[in-house]
Amino acid sequence: MLEKIKELICNYVEEDPADITENSRFIEDLGFNSYDFISMLGDLEEEFGVTIDETEITDVHTVGEAVKYLSGLKERQ
């Protein structure tokens, strides 16, 4: 899952996937703006077959938190 999320991230920012870690922060480290982040959420929903609750995602700041959130979401849905 981490590798697929890294691929999706690289559709929005110019980063080498090898430089993206679980501790990478979307805004501060990777340079996401809010529009890019929301757009990526749609891609994640499509890729992993889940529905992301936008109120829950506000607590996701790092790539690792995204992996953990999506893993839990897949288990619940």
**pLDDT (tens place) for every residue of the chain, 77 residues total:** 999 999 999 999 999 999 999 999 999 999 999 899 999 999 999 999 999 988 888 889 999 999 999 999 888 87
Supply the pLDDT for residue 42. Answer: 94
Q: Which residues are within 8 A (CB) of 41 and not within 5 positions of it... i.e. 6 or more apart?
A: 52, 54, 57
Question: What's this model's pTM, rounded to 2 decimal places?
Answer: 0.90
Supply the pLDDT for residue 77. Answer: 76
Handedness of CA 23, 42, 35, 53 (dihedral sign): negative
H-helix or E-strand containing 7?
Answer: helix 2-10
Supply the pLDDT for residue 47. Answer: 94
